[in-house]
Chain A
Amino acid sequence: MEPSITKQETVVLPAARARKKKKMTADRLLAFSFILPSIVLVAIFVYGFIGWTGYVSLSNWNTLVPDFSFAGLKNYIFLFQDFRFQADLRNTLIFTILFIAVVAIVGQLLAIFLDQKIRGESIFRNIFFFPMALSFVVTGVVWQWLLNPTTGVNLFLKKFGLESMWYTDTNILAGFKVGKIEFGVPVAIIAVVIAAVWQMTGFSLAMYLAGLRAIPEELKEAARMDGASEFTIYRKVIIPLLKPITVSVIIIMAHISLKIFDLIYAMTGPGANFVTDVPGVYMFEATFRGNYYANGAAIAIIMLLSVAIFIVPYLISSRKGES
């Protein structure tokens, strides 16, 4: 009897295997068909529409009625010679640098503080995190009230001889003339940075905390055994290990800050002399308030390129790191 069983098996197996293989390829097709709609949507609505915006940015469509006649780089040239757009570039640059620096440094410091076996650590953490659950619009509305030039914060600061106009200040610190604008740090931008930092520090804190938790305790223990002080351990061991987190924080915050629109739109608007204007606000007003579609599209493409400088290398390197 035994041989016949094996014989039967050898007969059955190839057929079953063939069936399975067929099922596998059918399943693979099925799997692909489930992701296909998303691929098509992203292809059209991300890449296709970026292309379309690019096309609009090269057209003469600066009226209510679409006009797709080719204008070359006219809109871009206009922007780079435009007082408002030059001010936007300055503001974005200054805002991005200040915002990233404060968010990264304060986030890292707070993470290290909270990692000291602090009592009530979760309460502290929750207080630092909660602004992230709010909308930039809410943040803008509240801080507009808080930093109103004649309000409480200022009455408080006045006692120390500081009188700030906050976001209504049109002064440019350390200014010198570049193009049509005064380059430097617009005082009003600092007010917006404070609001943005208030909202986003929790983000970098969360990332740094996750990074700290991933560092094995033995590493600290070993350094302690070698007689290193706590301070030295952080300076020589922990902080260097947090470098990849810092890179991520910088990239995430940079792309947020280069795209920023709602916070500024809700809090200050473009401001007198465009001291708090950014490309996001200009794009919105040019396109949807002024019907300068081609100009708006050109601003959008410049914003996209500035974000891509940070994001594309980040995406490529994280893909490499995965495989």
Chain B
Amino acid sequence: MALSRLSKPLLYVLLIALCLFFLMPIYVMLVTSLKPLDQVTLSEMWKLPTVLDFSSYSTAFEKLLPNLLNSFYLVIPATVISALLGSLNGYVLSKWKFKGADILFTLILFGMFIPYQSILIPMIQFLRDVGLYNTIPGLVFVHVVYGIPITTLMFRNFYASIPDEMIESAKIDGAGFLRIFRYIILPLSITGFVVVAIWQFTNIWNEFLFAVTITTSEQQPIMVALQNLSGSQIVQWNVQMAGALLAALPTLLVYIFLGKYFVKGLLAGSVKG
């Protein structure tokens, strides 16, 4: 008891110190982005701005707006399609198991761990051949294909919690594959869809390797454009930080409002069964 009385305050001190470490980058991002360029010096990095200057936001917004839009055009269809595919796959692999279904599932799962470098060269050739190279639909296609393993896994685990007896009794009542999906599975899938959609939205929004190799200039999603900002000769750090915040905002908002589901998705994707 004496130990815990003594260690509790110590615990708080430790936790708060760590919190400060975790929040420090956000603080620096915010204060830097609100400074005029002449105040953005390395030695004054930690100081609050003397005047609030939002010009770096308007500069960053102007530069990044087309890419922000590209990202939305990419993320929304890719998320919807891959969630629907995942839900159907998960339904089949959990409630309509066929011979070899489990092995097949493991083979599909492997696809979510591969370094995408190992499929990139053929993928770009393929996209060139079908005329989808350097297009947003091309990126949508890529994210749908490589989203199959994770969305299938999430839905399969999710549907495993729906009792088989429910499906069996629906079958006895004469309901078939599609009717069961439509009237039993889908109404119970709302949480599943929210978790998967948030997960896919965040990952596709943040993705960089496909984005930087499959698209050029005008078609580029936000993360590539953000990276390009720092590629210029003189780095305007205030604009850079404002850009980073703008780029991070959609996923940060999702996290702030739907964080619970975000963490659920993370656990569903990492801990099997």
> Does more than half of chain A's interface fall in helix, strand or loop, or is it mixed?
helix
Residue contacts A-B, CB under 8 angstroms, 20 given: A32-B92, A41-B145, A45-B146, A46-B110, A49-B126, A50-B119, A53-B120, A56-B122, A127-B22, A129-B259, A135-B223, A144-B230, A145-B241, A259-B115, A283-B117, A287-B120, A296-B121, A303-B118, A318-B272, A321-B272
Q: Is A152 part of the contact surface with B, judged by Cβ < 8 Å?
A: yes
Q: How far is the CA of A268 from the CA of B103 in the complex (A)?
A: 41
B46 within 8 A of A: yes
Q: Is residue B140 within 8 Å, beta carbon to beta carbon, of the partner chain?
A: no
Q: State whether A287 touches B227 (Cβ < 8 A).
A: no
Per-position contact with A for B156-179: 1 when CB-CB < 8 Å, else 0? 000000000000000100101110
A46-B111 in contact (CB<8A): yes
Partner of B148 from A24, A41, A284 at Cβ < 8 Å: A41
**A8 part of interface (Cβ distance < 8 Å):** no
A-B contact sample (10 more), CB < 8 A, given A27-B176, A42-B145: A28-B98, A49-B126, A133-B202, A135-B251, A141-B227, A145-B237, A150-B43, A152-B42, A152-B45, A319-B106
Please tell me if B104 contacts chain A, counting CB pairs below 8 Å.
Answer: yes
CB neighbours of B24 from chain A (8 A): 146
B residues near A49, Cβ cutoff 8 Å: 118-119, 122-123, 126
Contacting pair B270 A252 (CB below 8 A) = yes
Residues of A within 8 A of B (CB): 20, 23-24, 26-28, 30-32, 34-35, 37-39, 41-42, 45-50, 52-53, 56, 110, 113-114, 116, 118, 124, 126-146, 148, 150-152, 155, 198, 203, 206-207, 210, 229-231, 248, 252, 255, 258-259, 261-262, 265-266, 279-280, 283-284, 287-288, 293, 296-297, 299-301, 303-304, 307, 311-312, 315-316, 318-319, 321-323
Task: Tell me the nearest residue of chain B to A255, going by C-beta.
Answer: B113
Report the separation of the CA atoms of residues A212 and B122 in the bound assembly, to the nearest whole angstrom: 44
* A316 to B106 Cα, complex, angstroms: 8
Q: Tell whether, in the assembled complex, residue A315 and residue B109 are in contact, meaning their CB atoms are under 8 Å apart.
A: yes
Docked CA distance A126–B105 (Å):
33
Contacts of B123 in A (CB 8 A): 45, 49
Task: Give the 4 A-B residue pairs with the shortest CB-CB distance, closest first.
Answer: A135-B206, A133-B255, A31-B96, A262-B208
Is B89 interfacial (CB-CB < 8 Å)? yes
User: Per DSSP, are chain B's interface residues mostly helix, strand or loop, or mixed?
Assistant: helix
Contact A261 B107 (CB under 8 A): no
Inter-chain contacts of B240 with A (CB < 8 A)? 141, 145
Stretch from B51-59, B72-80, B129-137, B260-268 that touches the partner? B260-268
Question: In the complex, what distance in Å separates the CA atom of A301 from the CA atom of B115?
Answer: 9
B195 CB–A CB distance under 8 Å: no
Q: How far is the CB of A306 from chain B (nearest CB, A)?
A: 9
Query: In whole Å, how far is B167's beta carbon from the nearest beta carbon of chain A?
Result: 11
Q: Which of B199-241 contact A (CB under 8 A)?
A: 202, 205-209, 212-213, 223, 226-227, 230, 237, 240-241
B19 touches A127 (CB 8 A): yes
CB-CB nearest in chain B for A245: B271
Asked whether, in the complex, the Cβ of A206 is within 8 Å of the Cβ of B29, the reply is: no
The listed residue (A32, A113, A141, A252) touching B98 by CB distance below 8 A is A32
Chain B interfacial positions (CB closer than 8 Å to A): 3-4, 8, 11-12, 14-15, 18-19, 21-25, 28-29, 32, 42-43, 45-46, 85, 88-89, 91-93, 96, 98, 102-111, 113-123, 126, 145-146, 148-149, 152, 171, 174, 176-178, 202, 205-209, 212-213, 223, 226-227, 230, 237, 240-241, 243-244, 247-248, 251-252, 254-256, 259, 262-263, 266-267, 270-273
In the complex, A68→B234 CA distance in Å?
42
Q: Are B244 and A141 in contact (CB under 8 A)?
A: yes
Residues from chain B with Cβ under 8 Å of A24 in the complex: 171
**In the bound complex, how far is the Cα of B110 from the Cα of A128, in angstroms?**
29
**Is B176 a contact partner of A146 (Cβ separation < 8 A)?**
no
Given contacts A30-B176, A118-B12, A130-B252, contact A42 B107 (CB under 8 A): yes
Task: Report if A151-B42 is in contact (Cβ < 8 Å); known contacts: A53-B122, A129-B263, A145-B240.
Answer: yes
Q: Is the CB of B209 within 8 A of A287?
A: no
How many Å lie between the Cα of A265 and that of B117 in the bound state? 14
Would you give the shortest CB distance from B122 to chain A, in whole angstroms?
4
Interfacial chain A residues near B251, Cβ < 8 Å: 133-135
Q: Is B121's CB under 8 angstroms from A34's CB? A: no
Q: A30-B177, A303-B115 are in contact. Are A141 and B106 (CB under 8 A)?
A: no
User: In the bound complex, how far is the Cα of B146 from the Cα of A46, in angstroms?
Assistant: 8
Task: Give the CA-CA distance A56 to B121 in the complex, in Å.
Answer: 9
B contact residues around A316 at 8 Å (CB) = 106
CA of A142 to CA of B246, assembled, Å: 13
In whole angstroms, how far apart are the Cα atoms of A316 and B111 in the complex? 14
Contacts A118-B11, A145-B241, A255-B113 hold; do A135 and B92 have CB atoms under 8 A apart? Answer: no
